[in-house]
Chains A and B, each alone.
Chain A
């Protein structure tokens, strides 16, 4: 029987890898996801075949509860709420690992007769899982706007506090692992790890969320792999490690796209003070505001329009209105392209998902490197709720806090129309010279309403 289980595990993680490689292209992605899901089903069935399995009723109960809670929330969630949903699903995974570690401690009488690697794996998994659970809950709270999106923290003392919490959690875990320790030690380790999760994510601002979610995802993967080592379960090792590795790469990509290191993001405090708002150097500070009618005329007579969506589009739920407007422009013979910065929004690829929801073909969604050469050949660039990712100061002003961050070179296009709620600066509190540019005009108002009125004006032309 155990040979059969091992073979099924091999089949399962083969399907995970095959499925994931399907996710690398839009055409094969749906199938890839289904294949990975099939792998998961096989892994679960194989585990249930373990000889001598007891407590069937309780196992079934857990599976049913999980299904009843998971399915409806996954079905109902709006596409704009996707980042917090992913954070939440990630969190419960981490929570499961932490609970399993705790219960392993309890059911083995405090690791009395376990080999060292089981103890180490289990305790590592417990700590990382607990960090991931509580960190993900904070990320969820921030994205759902239950918690304020601005950084909350102790400022300079934060890193010290984090270090103390980490050392404390590891210390308690070591005591718990030495054998015959009181259960309080492992509980203390998990609680200190929980405090660490809260303390790390609370000071991180909303715009850094793509990196954080991706990092927490990788952490949960690593904790799953460690739990797999402790339980001698190859399926968990492989699946957890694949997620850990891929999540780390994705995190790194995100951080690069912001020209920031992961430690700097985790240390928090971007926009949390210290940075003087960009000095204006007496440059022309006038802002030209425009009307929907004028902007519509500009758009209608362009050869090519590049649309740059940002978090503002997600907040205003404007993706369908934007897609309608793009269709109308296309019908008028204007070529429309969407330029998407890797960290636009609150999750890697957030804008792509929203545009896909609004039936915008992925062929016209261009990545930063592909589209940056096109701006100087573009008649009108329409910026919808994006700010920092278009800020030319990142290229030109060495004193700017975002200097060196790769941006979309919106300022190179022949004219720019910026849809913005007000002149408040972006998340990072950094002034954006683009808004004062000679070729820039601003259309103030809610992104969705502005786009709808643009569309109406276009229809009237």
Chain B
């Protein structure tokens, strides 16, 4: 087992705990935006598409199609997810502070 893998596994475990810690404090009210926000973040798979396509030497037509679709899917996931979350969150408003009652 080489060092990179060990380091990556350590990162994996720690990231799991971070996810656990951050999310435990979210109120029910924000569950939908939270889900769509994390949804946008797993659009990070886009990076995988870019890496595999970027290192491919003379990919066949099928490989080109598969990877372009994968990148497009990832991009939909990212931009769609963040935009939708932003739209939802923009609607959450507090009541304007009422005038102090005498």
Contacts and interface: CB of A to CB of B under 8 A. Distances in A.
Interface string A26-38: 1101101110110
Interface in A278-295: none
B55 A54 contact: yes
A235 B12 CA distance: 10
A461 interface: no
Given A50-B54, A349-B31, A29 B94 contact: no
Contacts of A73: 76, 80
Interface residues of A, number: 113
Interface in A13-28: 13, 16-17, 19-21, 23-27
B73 A229 contact: no
B50 A59 contact: yes
Contacts of A33: 33, 37, 82, 85-86, 89
A23 B34 contact: yes
A243 B42 contact: yes
Contacts of B8: 228-229, 232, 234, 237
Contacts of B80: 70-71, 73-74, 85, 89
B77 to A, nearest CB: 4
Interface residues of B, number: 85
B29 A367 contact: yes
B62 to A, nearest CB: 8
B79 A71 contact: yes
Contact of B20 (A48, A71, A246): A246
Contact of A350 (B2, B26, B32, B34): B32
Contacts of A188: none
B51 to A, nearest CB: 6
B51 A50 contact: yes
Residue from the set B20, B29, B33, B35 with the largest chain A CB neighbour count within 10 Å:
B35
Contacts of A97: 45, 48
Given A17-B18, A36-B40, A232 B70 contact: no
Per DSSP, chain B at the interface is helix
A257 to B, nearest CB: 9
A460 interface: no
Interface string B49-77: 11111111101101110111111111111
Contacts of B1: 117
Contact of A54 (B23, B49, B57, B69): B57
B48 to A, nearest CB: 5
B24 to A, nearest CB: 7
Interface in B9-28: 9, 11-12, 15-20, 22-28
A86 B87 CA distance: 13
Contacts of A71: 79-80, 83
A92 B47 contact: no
Contact of A55 (B54, B60, B91): B54
B21 to A, nearest CB: 9
A129 B46 CA distance: 13
Given A65-B72, A231-B52, A242-B15, A102 B66 contact: yes
Nearest to A52: B55
A291 B34 CA distance: 40
A71 B48 CA distance: 21
A181 interface: no
Given A55-B53, A106-B63, A228 B48 contact: yes
26 contacts: A19-B37, A20-B23, A23-B26, A24-B27, A25-B27, A55-B54, A59-B54, A74-B84, A89-B36, A89-B77, A92-B77, A96-B46, A96-B77, A99-B69, A106-B62, A107-B63, A221-B41, A228-B48, A231-B47, A238-B15, A238-B18, A245-B18, A250-B35, A352-B29, A353-B32, A359-B91
Given A20-B22, A103-B63, A221-B38, 7 more contacts: A26-B89, A37-B86, A66-B75, A229-B5, A242-B38, A243-B38, A348-B32
The 8 closest A-B pairs by CB, nearest first: A66-B75, A62-B71, A245-B19, A349-B31, A348-B31, A349-B32, A361-B95, A74-B83
